[in-house]
Amino acid sequence: MLKGRCLIDPADFTREEFRELFDLAHQIVANPEKYSKSCEGKILATLFYEPSTRTRFSFEAAMLRLGGKVIGFSEPNSSSVAKGESVADTIRTIECYADIAVMRHPKEGAPRVASQYLTTMPLINAGDGGHQHPTQTLTDILTIERLKGSVENKTYGFCGDLKFGRTVHSLIKFLSNYEGVKFILISPEELRVPEYIREEVIRKKGIPFEEVQQIEPYMNQLDFLYMTRVQRERFFNEEDYIRLKDRFILDMEKMKYAREDTYILHPLPRVNEISIEVDKDPRAQYFAQAKNGMYVRMALILKLLGIY
């Protein structure tokens, strides 16, 4: 039962709970109209302390398409945050007004702390600093299932900023619970996955993996290549960012090494790590992925509110 629960980290739900959620998401994709009044009378609050396009809009669109309503801020300084209010006090206030809330915050752990002050309202982590982003993982998994049926027995390439990329951390954490997965981790030395992901997730679960610094030689092994942006806002100095930002650029030249059934995913926003010429290749699935984000968030809202 997911009713009343919070989703802060992919480890918060069991495999069975995720299965129920994805089954509902697939049903919503097939027949969204059926759910268009499911959330009548319900209010979603979106608390975005950091910029967002897809995550916030897809959550808001999800709630509106379910017949519910949305309140919130995307500019925290328009709220009492500007007066120094704590996350704890803000979330307790929001619980007085909304049925469910979504929070993005630059500080790792802020949504977890906020969730500890709640009594009944479910809270969803929409990204906390360079830590986790579990609903992007839901988006990614729905996309993977729609393209290849299941997540098992596949090789996943992750490329770019694996250190600060929270979408990568959450997706690796999720996939590490499934049989037959293998990871190829492609990044500059300085942007390798954090140790807690490599040791406490990947190694602990016994997942085969390689850490490499080139895309081409590995392309034909991959079922999915998950590209990411170098996370400029999490760097300590601009010189490091400038030095590393153009290390991996996926263009049609590199796509020649990919199989016919190697799909390219990206959580977006893209800066320049995927050349726009790749967009028209049928293997480029990142905009379809963004659309799936809305459907899976519809399913998540319905589950956490106990409507389905």
Residue 173 binds ligand NCD, judged by CB under 6 A: no
Of residues 224 through 253, those in contact with ligand NCD by CB under 6 A are 229
133 binds ligand NCD, rule: CB under 6 A:
yes
- What are the angstrom distances between the C-alpha of 248 and each of 33, 214, 239, 251? 41, 8, 17, 9
Site for ligand NCD in 4-43 (CB under 6 A): none
Q: CA-CA distance, 59 to 70, in Å (whole number)?
A: 9
Does 127 interact with ligand NCD (rule: CB under 6 A)?
Answer: yes
Q: How far is the CB of 251 from ligand NCD (least distance, A)?
A: 19
Q: Is 267 one of the binding residues for ligand NCD (CB under 6 A)? A: yes
Tokens at 127, concatenated: 């990204």
Choosing from 268, 274, 284, 300, the residue that interacts with ligand NCD (CB under 6 A) is: 268
Q: Of 111-119, 249-257, 264-272, 276-284, which part binds ligand NCD (CB under 6 A)?
A: 264-272
Judged by CB under 6 A, the residue of 136, 155, 176, 262 near ligand NCD is 136
- Return the number of the residue (104 or 198) whose C-beta is nearest ligand NCD: 104
Give me the least distance between CB of 289 and ligand NCD, in Å please: 9
Least distance in Å: CB of 299 to ligand NCD?
Answer: 17
Residue 163 CB, nearest distance to ligand NCD (Å)?
A: 12
Per CB under 6 A, the list member of 166, 169, 198, 254 interacting with ligand NCD is 166
Q: Are 194 and 169 in contact (CB under 8 A)?
A: yes
Q: Which range, of 22-30, 91-99, 170-178, 266-274, touches ligand NCD by CB under 6 A?
A: 266-274
> By C-beta, is 53 or 80 nearer to ligand NCD?
53
List the one residue from 18, 29, 32, 54 that touches ligand NCD (CB under 6 A).
54
How many angstroms separate the Cα of 15 from the Cα of each of 56, 142, 204, 267, 300? 26, 14, 17, 22, 15
* Binding-site ranges for ligand NCD (CB under 6 A): 54-55, 127, 133, 136, 166-167, 229, 267-269
